[in-house]
Structure formats: structure tokens, C-alpha cells
């Protein structure tokens, strides 16, 4: 328990330290320079580093690090043979409705933490205008598609609520389509024939730079040559594989008769390989990367139940991108931590050196205090108070300087910076701690002085 006498001695030592620092302002400022520039460097580098880290992670996310991709599997060979009941006869294949819009709504309702969800239908088609014909892809999407993949409009607008709800004949075209079919005019409001239907162009996407090498060797689609229409427009006007047609009923009947008579007609293979999935792709963007694996497991169980145990889909998680994101985080943390540690270590060494030099300069002062009754602990406290005051003041100046530097670098070099409250508190706290730690050796050296020898020191 602290006694009143001890508190009074502590307060006196604090006053003496304040007087010593005030009497030697230049020396104190020089002593604090290491901490000032150390803290300023830490805050500025953390702000720049955090900004660069965030920008890199955002770029990784654009590639799809937060996306769970569900793709349909068209061909299925999932059959069971019950030899006891039917000899060599095969049991009936399981029935699955395929990947549909109903699955999308079910996932939206049942799975938490979803940021956006984007269904896609991709159809091979032809585009005709002014006597020019070219093969292309018609992609049925929702507006979330453009947000997930960071597609920006060069002109026009996205689909509105009525166009999506009623399946109106509108489309958004890639920059390659514009260059090919509308080289000298704006395509907005013009009509273009996509497959058997005429669509009105309401928007043009900015060019997405993809090299020809990537397109040919890596199999990356040239998004600039795609036509995008509302999902409902594609389902109503082009193809809805969720509907049962008369042709499908005929093929099913022929397949059934072939199995009865022990023959497998050619139509059976045709029916087996027919794509019965309404959607060609379903992309689910999660809010948090760390919940990707657990969410994928929930979606797997949900779809398995909706598809009656038939696994006619595959769920992809970008594991390599997740590992790269984690590695990027770790690298930035190590680099920024090293910079912070080195900067503050240099500042601490500066404090220790200046304080040791201060002890040599003030040997007579120390001897006088000891000779008139001051304890060694009083001398230790005095020099520790001085070190803490210098490092604390330097820390505050460094915080202001560091924030200013971050803003200057951001405005002049056009580099994103993120100044966090945590980095400010951490830098200031470490600066004060460094002052305390590196002030111990000089304080103890001062307390070990012999009063008589100190008074005779020249």
C-alpha cells in the first residue's frame, strides 16, 4: 500500500524531473527526436501498408476469393444394382430437378452471411446486325453479377426492376460487341438480333483487358464479346430447361420401352446427356472469408436434400486464393511489424544514449541530491520520469507527424492510406514503454554514483 510520505516523495521527484527537462529543452528535444520520427514512421508506414494491403486483398476478392461457385453436372452414372431382387436389372435412376432458381431462393433464405448471389444461364448463340453475323454468348444474369465481378458501365444503365420482373427484351453488351456492330455510333437504344429475338441495348460495359494468350491457352472467356440479358428474359424468350416439353416426354417414353425389352436405344444416351439444369452457374459471394468452408458444407447438405440425394452438382471454393489471401496478410503483418520494431528500437537506443550522456553531465547534481538526504530510489525515479516524459511527449508529436505524413503521401502519390486508431494507441504505448525500458540503465547508473566523488567531479 502506498503511504502518504511515499506519494509526496514521488511527486517531488516528478517536479524535479519536469524542471530538469524544462531547463534543457534543446537536449530534451534532441533526445525525443528518435521517438518522434520512430512513431511517425510507424504510423505512416502502417497507414500506407494497410492501404496497400486492403487494395491487394480487394483485387484478390475480385478474382473470386469470397465466392462459392456451384456448377451443374450434366452426365450422371449414379445407379445401384440390386442382384437379389432383380438379378442383373438396374434400379431406376434417382430423379433430380437440377440446379434451379428455386435452389437460389432456398440458399438465400437458409444460409446467413451471404453478401450477393448471382445465377447465370449461358447460351451459345449468334448476333446479327447490318449484314454482319458473329457467334457469341448470351448470358442471363441479375445485377449482382456485375457487382461481384466488378464490371463497370462505360455508358447506359443496368437492368431495372420491371425489366427483370417481366423479362423485357433488353441487353447490355460488351465493349467488343460495340466495336464490332456499332463502330461509329452509340448503341444505346438500338436493336440487335441475338439468336431468334431482337434485343434493345441499354448499356455497354467497359473493356475488360484479357490477352489473346489467356483466351486461347487458359480457356478464359472473352467477356468483351458477351451479351447480357435479364435472367427472366432468357428463361421466357430463349430457353428454360426446367420446363418439360413434349419431345422430352417422347424420349422418356422411348427410353422406358427400351429398358423393358432389354434394349438401350440411341435415344437413351441422348436423354442421359441432356442438360436438365435450369442454371449453368450459381455464384455466392460471402461477407466473411473465414466462413467459406462452413457455408459450403451447409449448402452441400441443403442441395443434397433438394436434389433428393442425387449429387448432380459440384461446389467449388477457391482454396488457392484463400491461401494466397492469408499469405498476403501474414507477409504484410511481418513487414510492418519489423518496420515498427526497428523504428522504435532506434528511438529507444537514442533515449538511452542521451540519458547516459546526461548522467555524465549531471554528476554534481546527482551527488548534491544524495548528500542532502535523497535516496537512491529518488534518483532512479527522477531519471525514469525524465525518460518517460521525453518519450511520451515525443510520442504525441510523432502521432501528429505520422498522421500528417500519411495524408501527404496519400494526396501526392495517389496511394491509399488507412489510419487505424489501434496503430495510434499501439505506437504511443510502445513509445512510452520504450522510454521506460531504455531509461532504467541510465537511472540505475545515476543512483550508483558515490556522493563524495560526485561532488568533487569536474
Residue with cell 507527424: 401
User: With DSSP H G I counted as helix, E B as strand and the rest as coil, what are the percentages for the chain, rounded to 5?
Assistant: 60, 15, 25
As a whole number, mean pLDDT of residues 151-177 equals 92
Percent of the chain with pLDDT over 70: 74
pLDDT at 271 over 60: no
Phi and psi torsions of 141, nearest 5°: -140, 170
pLDDT tens, 346-356? 766 776 777 66
CA 411 to chain centre: 24
What is residue 283's three-state secondary structure?
Answer: strand
As a whole number, mean pLDDT of residues 265-283 equals 69
pLDDT at 235 over 80: yes
pLDDT tens, 376-412? 787 778 778 877 888 788 888 888 888 888 888 888 8
Q: For 211-220, 240-249, 449-458, which range has the lowest pLDDT when averaged over its residues?
A: 211-220
Strands 170-173 and 197-205: parallel
pLDDT score, position 329: 66
Q: What is the pTM of this model?
A: 0.56
Q: Rounded to whole angstroms, how far apart are CA atoms 257 and 245? A: 19
Q: Rounded to whole angstroms, how far apart are CA atoms 26 and 386? A: 14
Q: Which residue has the higher pLDDT, 42 or 237?
A: 237
Per-domain boundaries in the chain: 8-59+324-456, 66-241+276-317
pLDDT score, position 236: 92
Q: Give the model's confidence band at 217: pLDDT under 50 very low, under 70 low, under 90 confident, else very high.
A: very low
Q: Rounded to whole angstroms, how far apart are CA atoms 434 and 343? A: 11
pLDDT at 189 over 90: yes
pLDDT score, position 287: 84
pLDDT tens, 287-324? 887 788 888 899 999 999 998 888 888 888 776 555 66
Q: Give the model's confidence band at 215: pLDDT under 50 very low, under 70 low, under 90 confident, else very high.
A: very low
Q: In whole numbers, what is the pLDDT of the chain averaged over residues?
A: 78
Calculate the alpha carbon distances from 232 to 121, 240, 452, 455 in Å: 10, 9, 97, 95
pLDDT at 454 over 60: no
pLDDT at 373 over 80: no
What is residue 316's three-state secondary structure?
Answer: strand
Q: Rounded to whole angstroms, how far apart are CA atoms 236 and 233? A: 5
pLDDT at 170 over 90: yes
pLDDT score, position 81: 47
Write out the E strands in 99-237: 114-129, 132-141, 153-156, 170-173, 191-194, 197-205, 226-230
Residue with cell 540505475: 444
pLDDT at 263 over 50: no
pLDDT score, position 219: 44
Amino acid at each position: 500500500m502506498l503511504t502518504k510520505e511515499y506519494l509526496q516523495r514521488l511527486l517531488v521527484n516528478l517536479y524535479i524531473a519536469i524542471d530538469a527537462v524544462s531547463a534543457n529543452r534543446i537536449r530534451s528535444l534532441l533526445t525525443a527526436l528518435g521517438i518522434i520520427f520512430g512513431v511517425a514512421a510507424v504510423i505512416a508506414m502502417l497507414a500506407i501498408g494497410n492501404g496497400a494491403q486492403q487494395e491487394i486483398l480487394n483485387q484478390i476478392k475480385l478474382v473470386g476469393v469470397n465466392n462459392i461457385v456451384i456448377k451443374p453436372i450434366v452426365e450422371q452414372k449414379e445407379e445401384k444394382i440390386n442382384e437379389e431382387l432383380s438379378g442383373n436389372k438396374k434400379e431406376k435412376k434417382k430423379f433430380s430437378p437440377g440446379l434451379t432458381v428455386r435452389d437460389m431462393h432456398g440458399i438465400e433464405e437458409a444460409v446467413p452471411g451471404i453478401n450477393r448471389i448471382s445465377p447465370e444461364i449461358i447460351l451459345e448463340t449468334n448476333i446479327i446486325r447490318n449484314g454482319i453475323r458473329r457467334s457469341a454468348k448470351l448470358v442471363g444474369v441479375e445485377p449482382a453479377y456485375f457487382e461481384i465481378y466488378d464490371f463497370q458501365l462505360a455508358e447506359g444503365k443496368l437492368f431495372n426492376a420491371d425489366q427483370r420482373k417481366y423479362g423485357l427484351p433488353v441487353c447490355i453488351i460488351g465493349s467488343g460487341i460495340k466495336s464490332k456492330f456499332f463502330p461509329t455510333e452509340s448503341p444505346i437504344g438500338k436493336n440487335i438480333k441475338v439468336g431468334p429475338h431482337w434485343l434493345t441495348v441499354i448499356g455497354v460495359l467497359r473493356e475488360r483487358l484479357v490477352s489473346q494468350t489467356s483466351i486461347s491457352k487458359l480457356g478464359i472467356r472473352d467477356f468483351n464479346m458477351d451479351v447480357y440479358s435479364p435472367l427472366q428474359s432468357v428463361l421466357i424468350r430463349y430457353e428454360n430447361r426446367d420446363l418439360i416439353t413434349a419431345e422430352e416426354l417422347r424420349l422418356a417414353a422411348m427410353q422406358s420401352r427400351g429398358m423393358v425389352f432389354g434394349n438401350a436405344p440411341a435415344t437413351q444416351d441422348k436423354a442421359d446427356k441432356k442438360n436438365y439444369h435450369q442454371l449453368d452457374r450459381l455464384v455466392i459471394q460471402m461477407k466473411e472469408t473465414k466462413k467459406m468452408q462452413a457455408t459450403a458444407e451447409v449448402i452441400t447438405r441443403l442441395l443434397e436434400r433438394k436434389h433428393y440425394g442425387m449429387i448432380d452438382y459440384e461446389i467449388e471454393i477457391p482454396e488457392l486464393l484463400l491461401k494466397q489471401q492469408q499469405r498476403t496478410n501474414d507477409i504484410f503483418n511481418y513487414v510492418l511489424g519489423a518496420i515498427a520494431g526497428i523504428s522504435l528500437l532506434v528511438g529507444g537506443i537514442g533515449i538511452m544514449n542521451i540519458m547516459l550522456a546526461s548522467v555524465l553531465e549531471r554528476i554534481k547534481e546527482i551527488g548534491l541530491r544524495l548528500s542532502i538526504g535523497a535516496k537512491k530510489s529518488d534518483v532512479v525515479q527522477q531519471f525514469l520520469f525524465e525518460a518517460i516524459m521525453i518519450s511520451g511527449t515525443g510520442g504525441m508529436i510523432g502521432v501528429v507527424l505520422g498522421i500528417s505524413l500519411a495524408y501527404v503521401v496519400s494526396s501526392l502519390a495517389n496511394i491509399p492510406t488507412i489510419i487505424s486508431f489501434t496503430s495510434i494507441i499501439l505506437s504511443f504505448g510502445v513509445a512510452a514503454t520504450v522510454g521506460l525500458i531504455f531509461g532504467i540503465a541510465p537511472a540505475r547508473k545515476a543512483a550508483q554514483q558515490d556522493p563524495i566523488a560526485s561532488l568533487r567531479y569536474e
